[in-house]
Amino acid sequence: MAAITKRPTRLSDGRELIYYDDADTALSPARKPDGREPAPRPATATMRQDPLTGEWVSIAAARQNRVMLPPAELDPLAPATPTNPSEIPDLYDVAVFENKSPSFGPLLEDGNAPEGIEDLAQVGLERTRASVGRCEVVCFSPATAGAFGSLTPSRARTVIEAWADRTAALSALPGVRQVFPFENRGEAIGVTLHHPHGQIYAYPYITPRTSALIRSLDSYGPTLFADILERERASERVVLAGEHWTAFVPFAARWPIEIHVLPHRHVADLTETSAAERDELATLYLRVLRGVDALYDSPTPYIAAWHQAPVGVRRDEIRLMLQLTSPRRGADKLKFLAGSEAAMGAWVGDIPPERAAAALRDAVAKADRENPVGELPVSVTGLVTEPVAPASTTDREADR
């Protein structure tokens, strides 16, 4: 048994960088410092309210400057080299850092920050609030290509531990109302980097999707998630089930590929999952993702979204849920959100969920044969925090 090690440090401009070393890591504790000259942080964006819906839109112009599909030798998420002074100064297993071009933040407090849920719920004309919060990048691997599904079980387990740890830390920040880890995969989804990575948004409000969920809970009652899980586990829409988690195609799936993953007991977010639940999730989730890729001869684009309960709101009723969606409806076909879906929010499904689930079960079985996930090499005992050890003089000289 071994622990995952957390090593927090700072980049040259003051942004937080956290290394998470695998339980079976081959890395030393030493990490080189960020050798770049400090650059100024962008101004915090401004949210504007849409009075037709009451929703808030963050106008983050700094995002226009982010890099777009660079070659591997200029990957900004790869470990830094003399010819590529990237965001991460040294080798790593998993690394998390503050986004250089955030949609929310870098400020956490501001004179025009939201004054609470009630303030944000009021509807008016030309209302603005500062886009306080935090956006982070989660690097799954130092490799320059791949996705979560290409990770080893040990590395997947480290990412899950990092998600849980960052959810706890971000939920404790002033003004943060909801924490959202996610992965965008594929150019069809709009990714700007091929590097295997995800992101975490810490919002200053409860998101529209979660607000709609709360309205459903108000109508149905507090047993909504337990009843959904019971019904789905008895259906022909189950894709994969373990001792602690079940993956299924939902009854009213919108997307050609749509998989939900629910824990068998109530947990509000990743921080509340046990070590055993995280261990199983590492391999079950990899099997699901490799199954998705086994549907066709080329990698499938997707969004993997971890829906978590808001900070301090309805946590006894809202259950942690992964929702994985893909617009791919055939080997060479994508579902585009056109008039009905994009303009009116009125969805039309292309593939019956039961048929999609059968295809996914077959694809998972194929992936298990041709690209098996395997088991965790060691049992993970949790997370320990240790300082970054200084790099040796030899290492520093090699960078010059």
Give the pLDDT score at 361. 98
pLDDT tens per residue, range 325-353: 999 999 999 999 989 999 999 999 999 99
pLDDT band at 395 (very low <50, low <70, confident <90, very high): low
Residue 84 pLDDT exceeds 70? yes
Percent over 70 (pLDDT), the chain? 98
Residue 397 pLDDT exceeds 50? no
Residue 394 pLDDT exceeds 90? no
Q: Catalytic residue positions?
A: 197
pLDDT band at 82 (very low <50, low <70, confident <90, very high): very high
Give the pLDDT score at 392. 66
Give the pLDDT score at 389. 86
Structural domains in the chain plus CATH codes: 1-180+187-199+380-400 (3.30.428.10), 206-376 (3.30.428.10)
Residue 282 pLDDT exceeds 80? yes
pLDDT tens per residue, range 198-253: 999 999 999 999 999 999 999 999 999 999 999 999 999 999 999 999 999 999 99
Give the pLDDT score at 31. 96
pLDDT tens per residue, range 295-331: 999 999 999 999 999 999 999 999 999 999 999 999 9
Q: 3-state class of 7 per DSSP?
A: strand
190 vs 180, which has greater pLDDT? Answer: 180
pLDDT band at 128 (very low <50, low <70, confident <90, very high): very high
Beta strands in the chain, from DSSP E residues, in sequence order: 2-10, 16-21, 30-31, 46-49, 56-59, 94-98, 128-130, 134-139, 178-185, 197-203, 238-241, 245-248, 257-263, 302-307, 321-326, 328-330, 333-334, 380-385, 389-390
Report cis status (omega within 30 of 0) of the bond before 106.
Answer: yes
Residue 393 pLDDT exceeds 80? no
Strand order in the sheet with 46-49: 56-59, 46-49, 128-130
Give the pLDDT score at 102. 96
Average pLDDT over residues 361-385: 95
pTM, entire model: 0.96
